[in-house]
Amino acid sequence: MFGRKPKEENKFIELLMRQAAKTEDGIKLLLMLIERPDEDSIQQLRAVEQEADEIRRIIIDELHNTFITPIDREDIFNLSLYIDDMIDYGLTTLEEMVLLKVNADHHLRQMIALVVQEAEELHLATQRLTNNQRVAGDHARRTKKLENEVDHLYRMAVAELFSNATDIKLLPALFNRREVYRHVSNMSDRADTAANVFGMVVMKLS
Q: Which domains does the chain have, with CATH numbers?
A: 2-205 (1.20.58.220)
At residue 7, the pLDDT reads 56
Q: What is the pTM for the complete model shown?
A: 0.92
Give yes or no for a contact between 104 and 34, defined as CB atoms under 8 angstroms apart: yes
For residue 204, pLDDT beyond 90 = no
For residue 3, pLDDT beyond 80 = no
Distance of alpha carbon 35 from the chain centroid:
20
Give yes or no for a contact between 203 and 88, defined as CB atoms under 8 angstroms apart: no
Top pLDDT among 133 and 90 is at 90
Average pLDDT over residues 156-161: 93
At residue 9, the pLDDT reads 53
Determine the longest span between alpha carbons in the chain, in angstroms. 66
Distances in whole angstroms, Cα of residue 74 to Cα of each of 14, 123, 198: 17, 19, 12
**CA–CA gap between residue 193 and residue 11 (Å, rounded):** 23
**CA–CA gap between residue 36 and residue 168 (Å, rounded):** 28
Give yes or no for a contact between 179 and 100, defined as CB atoms under 8 angstroms apart: yes
For residue 13, pLDDT beyond 80 = yes
Which residues touch 91 (CB under 8 Å, ≥6 apart)? Answer: 26, 30, 42, 45, 46, 49
Share of the chain above pLDDT 70, in %: 96
At residue 4, the pLDDT reads 43
Neighbouring C-alpha atoms within 13 Å toward the C-beta of 91: 20
Which residues touch 124 (CB under 8 Å, ≥6 apart)? Answer: 136, 139
